[in-house]
Amino acid sequence: MRQRHKVNGTRRKALFGLAGLVLGGGGLVAINVGANASNSGEPSAGGVICPEVKDRLGDIPQAASAEVRRSLDLMRRDIEAADTRLSSEQGVSSRTVLDPLLAKRSAILERIEIAVERTGAERPKDLQSLAACTVSDTATTAAPSGNGEQSPQQPPATGTPQPTGTPQPTGGPAPEDFVDITKVQPNVRPVANGRAASKGAFRTRCGVNKAGRFNSDNVIVAPGVSNGAHHTHDYVGAIGVDAFTDDRSLAASRTTCTNGDRSTYYWPVLRDRDGVQESDADKQGGGAEGNTGKILTPARVSLQFIGNPNAKVTAMPRFLRIITGDAKANANGGANANARFTCTGFENKVELRDKYPICPKGSNLMRVAKFQNCWDGKNTDSANHRSHVAFADERGACPAGFRPIPQLVQRVTYKGLAGSTAFAIDSFPESMHKPVTDHGDFINAMSKRLMKKAVSCINSGRRCG
């Protein structure tokens, strides 16, 4: 069932009932939500139509009910705000209203999933399919243009399904997502090493994915789900990694790394969006989900493991999984964001967290990913794929119960983009290619012998690899 929200002149009634009904002794709550409605009960010209979330929630654990109620109320207010804007701003397009609404709803739905999962109950399934909203047909046509003719109908918001072969709106990035790096004040501070620092480094060389090994899976976050990322990843290291890779197949894989490292390293591709199309222009993970343009092959990929400024590091366990950054950071409030963009010649001076740099002539674009460098000593993964690892503080201290491990620092460099603003990373449709959503994924499949060598190099202050 889809829920219709609308404005009727200046009169709006929010008939939104949040009633908790305890169901027996199991601690389950039924959350009842009424739809917005005007007095007439008829759709208005500016009605925003969203999927009904409550119908998919079922029984919510008592411990999660307060968070779910807050989330549903927030979604209701977001819909009302979008509806008001669509109705009151002359000439505003449906995409301008629905794209931000899609991003907000996606983040709130994820919060509901997490709130339920934290109670030990099964995570609600397929809630993200309820993120996209539409508007009534009469609201999708722009106001008449100055010559008296009507403008073409606006396309639906990014993330809204479209017929096969019809390009989706790209949904970003925006001009304000770019900044001239020469006008940014230096913001990189050198790390101060203590007496017990592990100052060495171990480099693994795995190439730049010249063979074009791509897919839109994410075996860490969505194992067994094809197109689980909804954007395309570059892969180096283990060959043949996809949603169905497991520890056993990873250990047996061939690799692009020169030292036998069978780890997998992957990140969203970067595309040249200056009118050049890739072969995936109408495919999942590509143009069908707003990821358009030619995929750029990096000029250089540096994969370096470094130490801790105040302690020796211990070996990572084999098959440790680490995600750094957040593919939905623009919708999630930036809590897990860890994007870093810079240009060659500026890498020790300026790092941009939420902007793409406009690099000067002779300089190359660089993406930097610094992975978590503390481990809980027990788990190779966790339910949210984050809790088992953490970042040390500026002095190198890990949280209580965590130990220092080698830190993966990944640098991906691209030539030919000096002065350009016609590029962007791939993203989820609702993330609109925002630079803050850049991220990296890593599964350690080094042999114990190779990991021991890396730890020895780092702790003894040598540079190896």
| pLDDT tens column, 70-89 | 888 888 888 888 888 788 77
Q: Is pTM, for the whole model, over 0.95? A: no
8 A C-beta contact, residue 42 and residue 25: no
Report the alpha-carbon distance of residue 356 to residue 366 in Å, rounded.
10
Q: Is the peptide bond before 309 cis (omega within 30 degrees of 0)?
A: no
Residue 458 scores a pLDDT above 50? yes
Residue 463 scores a pLDDT above 50? yes
What percentage of the chain has pLDDT greater than the value 90? Answer: 59
- The better pLDDT of the pair 445, 330 is held by 445
Residue 64 scores a pLDDT above 60? yes
- The better pLDDT of the pair 29, 273 is held by 273
Instruction: Give residue 203's identity as a one-letter amino acid code.
Output: R
Report the alpha-carbon distance of residue 455 to residue 198 in Å, rounded.
9
Strand order, beta sheet including 403-404: 389-390, 374-375, 403-404
Region at 27 (left for phi over 0; alpha for psi -120 to 50; beta for the rest): left
Give domain limits for the chain.
Answer: 2-139, 175-464
Confidence at residue 38, expressed as pLDDT on a 0 to 100 scale: 29
**How far is the CA of 408 from the CAs of 106, 242, 344, 388, in angstroms?**
30, 21, 20, 16
**How far is the CA of 416 from the CAs of 24, 116, 151, 164, 299, in angstroms?**
65, 47, 37, 33, 10
Confidence at residue 27, expressed as pLDDT on a 0 to 100 scale: 56
pLDDT band at residue 21 using 50, 70 and 90 as cut-offs: very low
| pLDDT tens column, 156-189 | 333 333 333 333 334 789 999 999 999 999 999 9
| pLDDT tens column, 330-352 | 888 888 999 999 999 999 999 99
Mean pLDDT of 190-215: 96
| pLDDT tens column, 135-156 | 875 443 333 333 333 333 333 3
Q: What is the mean pLDDT of the chain?
A: 83
8 A C-beta contact, residue 361 and residue 418: yes
pLDDT band at residue 44 using 50, 70 and 90 as cut-offs: very low
| pLDDT tens column, 216-253 | 999 999 999 999 999 999 999 999 999 999 999 999 99
- The better pLDDT of the pair 360, 44 is held by 360
Report the alpha-carbon distance of residue 78 to residue 174 in Å, rounded.
22
